[in-house]
Structure 1
Amino acid sequence: MLDLLKAVVLGLIQGLTEFLPISSSAHLRIFPELFGWGDPGAAFTAVIQIGTELAVLIYFRHDIWRIGSTWVRSLVKPEYRGHFDARMGWFIILGSLPIVVLGVLLKDVIERDFRNLWVIATALIVLGIVLGIADRVSADDKRIEHLTLRAAVLMGAAQALALIPGVSRSGATISMGRLLGFEREAATRYAFLLAIPAVVGAGLFELKEIPNGDNTYGWGPTIVATVVSFVVGYAAIAWLLRYVSTRSYTPFVVYRIALGLATLVLLSTGVLSASG
């Protein structure tokens, strides 16, 4: 029963933080440690992210269907190849390659060394500063229709930095998008779409680890956390897209830096254990 309660809390944390540029993986590492629950494990973290990505699939179902169907048609019908949705399909595929390749090559390092809280706290602060600078200096004059292969690959490379908990998948992708001059809503929307292959792939890849891997929880709590993260995540998507259409990322930057500094203080005083 206690594990189910923990799963609900972790699902709430995942759903609330996955789409905000504040790193859900950092929160799933820091807060369980603060509560005395220990590290839930990389496998648990990856699998419950499927819940939030299911929210993306449903929320953007019309965009995904349009992009996917146009891309498939373009493979056999040349007249579709110049369509933006066909190009977007390629942008998402090619932009996903960096995180997929590095995720496979660095799997052991990610699950062992990158989950150290000193690394996570530092990543929160550094990437928070990067996000703040990128948001401030952005030309802010490109819509998603202005996306090019170069921009898609650069944002994909930035997304790969999220293999380090604390970076934030959306935060890294948005930061690069803002540096390239994209509007906040455009950078955020592409970050959501780009994350789908990587997150779903990582979750499915880690499914086999749930019964016997480095996770703290079994199937029951993992499923509960995944369902909760889906429900909360769906609401978070709608809220964030409305928010960024009129406001800056400054509150998220301040929060990231504050959480990173607080974590460093708690580590220095021995309240938190860096390795769990």
Structure 2
Amino acid sequence: MELIQIFTLAALQGLTEFLPISSSAHLILAPVVTDYADQGLAFDVAVHVGTLAAVVGYFRHEVVSISSDFFRALLSPAARSRESRLGWMIIIATLPVGVFGLLMKSLVETDLRSPLVIAITTIVFGILLLVADRIGKRQRDEYDIRWLDALVIGLFQALAIIPGTSRSGSSITGGLFLGLSRRAASRFSFLISIPTILLSGGLLTLDLMSSDTPADWLSLGLGAGLAFITAYLCIHYFLRFIETIGMLPFVVYRFILGGLILLFLV
């Protein structure tokens, strides 16, 4: 792979994984727009590792606190805390994407990767994000999430199996509809991305293990590193400014992207 291709695809993955604008749409469309050769499964795994390392690294204190309190509460119910409860909510929110991912894997890899599907989902879920941002009460934080809330957010996240939907965008939309603040909806979306990326990365790794394609370790390492840097910075600045800027800039971007796809690629 050429250096410019590695940089472009890794930066796209790092930025779009956590912004509500769909990483899958950008990675599917990038070879079409740029005439790059397909980056291959190994590179997809590498950039997933990079984004996973970024979100775990950014939320390292929360991950340690939630994990330790969760297992402590399993051993002693009297030790239950809001962190252990949040751990259960993360698990519940992850269940739908695991189920839908296994059931729809073959369909997603074939029929749903078309530019028309991506354009429609990009625009439709942009509208839903705008509506949720406008009508949501934005009064709750992630520690107020109940099991039914977590399940609803998980179902929204599962819709992101369809390219163009955006995993972070759909789960944030669900959180906003349920009255979470923008920051809380985003933080919970990023936290549930950890097991979700682990699941998707695990499936990609299983596919990769059955492939005989030789690995370009330099390209994979650069891709993972660049994805880590861009994803970490994206999470930091998104959470810092999201309460101020709102979701409108991302909605406008989705409308423009969907319109361009319909105009030039459909």
Common fold by TM > 0.5: yes
TM, length-normalised to structure 1 = 0.90
* Number of the residue aligned with 2:132: 134
Contact preservation (8 Å) 2:42, 2:215: no
Deviations 1:110-132 (A, max 9, x none): 11122111111111011001100
Rounded to whole Å, the distance in 2 between the matches of 1:118 and 1:95 is 29
Rounded to whole Å, the distance in 1 between the matches of 2:245 and 2:238 is 10
Contact preservation (8 Å) 1:47, 1:202: no
Given residue 203 of structure 2, which amino acid in structure 1 is its aligned partner?
F
Distance 1:255 1:56, change over 3 A: same
Are 1:69 and 2:74 matched, yes or no?
no
How many angstroms does 1:145 deviate by? Answer: 2.1
* Number of the residue aligned with 1:266: 264
Given residue 107 of structure 1, which amino acid in structure 2 is its aligned partner?
K
* Number of the residue aligned with 1:148: 146
Rounded to whole Å, the distance in 2 between the matches of 1:5 and 1:139 is 43
How many angstroms does 1:218 deviate by? Answer: 5.1
Distance 1:248 1:45, change over 3 A: same
Are 1:116 and 2:114 matched, yes or no?
yes
| Most deviating of 140-149 and 62-71 | 140-149
* Number of the residue aligned with 2:11: 12
Q: How many residues align?
A: 266
Contact preservation (8 Å) 1:95, 1:152: yes
| Most deviating of 114-123 and 159-168 | 114-123
Rounded to whole Å, the distance in 1 between the matches of 2:46 and 2:107 is 18
* Number of the residue aligned with 1:273: none
How many angstroms does 1:204 deviate by? Answer: 2.4
* Number of the residue aligned with 1:193: 191
Distance 1:48 1:216, change over 3 A: farther
How many angstroms does 1:217 deviate by? Answer: 7.8
Contact preservation (8 Å) 1:46, 1:199: no
How many angstroms does 1:67 deviate by? Answer: 0.5
**Where does 1:1-276 land on structure 2 (aligned, <5 Å)?**
2=2, 4-40=3-39, 44-45=43-44, 47-81=46-80, 83-210=81-208, 219-268=217-266
Q: Higher helix share goes to which structure?
A: 2
Distance 1:158 1:42, change over 3 A: farther
* Number of the residue aligned with 1:271: none
Distance 1:57 1:157, change over 3 A: same
Contact preservation (8 Å) 2:141, 2:184: yes
How many angstroms does 1:212 deviate by? Answer: 6.4
Contact preservation (8 Å) 2:43, 2:223: no
Given residue 95 of structure 1, which amino acid in structure 2 is its aligned partner?
A
Percent identity over paired residues: 40
- Which runs of 5 or more residues in structure 2 are unaligned? none
Equivalent residue of 2:30, what SS? helix
Stretches of 4+ moved more than 2 A in 1? 38-47, 208-224
| Most deviating of 32-41 and 15-24 | 32-41
